[in-house]
Amino acid sequence: MKIGIYDSGIGGLSVLHHAQKVLPNAEFLYYADEKHVPYGEKTREEIKGYVEETLNFLIDQGVDAIVIACNTATSVAKKEFRNTFPVPIVGMEPAVKKAVRMQEDENKRIFVTATPITIYGEKLDHLIAQVDAHHKVDKFPLPMLVRFAERCNFDSPEIDEYLRTELKDFDLTQYEYVVLGCTHFNYFKEHFKTVFGEDIHFADGNEGTIRQLMRVLPQEAYERQDSPGVTYFYSGRPINEYEENQIQRYLEQLNKMYEIY
Catalytic residues: 70, 182
Tell me the closest approach of the beta carbon of residue 243 to ligand DGL, in angstroms. 17
Tell me whether residue 26 or residue 68 sits nearer to ligand DGL (CB atom): 68
Binding of ligand DGL by 20 (CB under 6 A) = no
**Which residue in 70, 5, 44, 74 sits closest to 204, CA to CA?**
70
Dist. CA 115–CA 11, nearest whole Å: 12
Dist. CA 14–CA 81, nearest whole Å: 24
Binding of ligand DGL by 39 (CB under 6 A) = yes
Tell me the closest approach of the beta carbon of residue 146 to ligand DGL, in angstroms. 4
Residue 104, φ and ψ in degrees, nearest 5: -105, -35
In sequence order, the 6+-apart residues with CB closer than 8 A to the CB of 62 are 2
Binding of ligand DGL by 93 (CB under 6 A) = no
Binding of ligand DGL by 115 (CB under 6 A) = yes
Tell me the closest approach of the beta carbon of residue 94 to ligand DGL, in angstroms. 9
Tell me the closest approach of the beta carbon of residue 84 to ligand DGL, in angstroms. 21
Binding of ligand DGL by 182 (CB under 6 A) = yes
- Give, for 243, the enclosing helix (H) or strand (E): helix 241-257
**Which residue in 69, 41, 39, 66 sits closest to 55, CA to CA?**
66
| Contacting range for ligand DGL; rule: CB under 6 A; set: 77-85, 168-176, 182-190, 222-230 | 182-190
Tell me whether residue 1 or residue 210 sits nearer to ligand DGL (CB atom): 210
Tell me whether residue 20 or residue 74 sits nearer to ligand DGL (CB atom): 74
Binding of ligand DGL by 7 (CB under 6 A) = yes
Binding of ligand DGL by 204 (CB under 6 A) = no
Tell me whether residue 47 or residue 221 sits nearer to ligand DGL (CB atom): 47
Q: Which of 14, 20, 71, 186 binds ligand DGL (CB under 6 A)?
A: 71
Tell me the closest approach of the beta carbon of residue 220 to ligand DGL, in angstroms. 29
Instruction: Provide the residue type at 141 as one letter.
Output: P
Dist. CA 55–CA 236, nearest whole Å: 11
Burial string for 26-48 (b: 16+ CB within 10 Å, else e) reads bbbbbbbbbebbbbbbbeeeebb
Binding of ligand DGL by 70 (CB under 6 A) = yes
In sequence order, the 6+-apart residues with CB closer than 8 A to the CB of 149 are 9, 10, 11, 184, 185, 187, 188
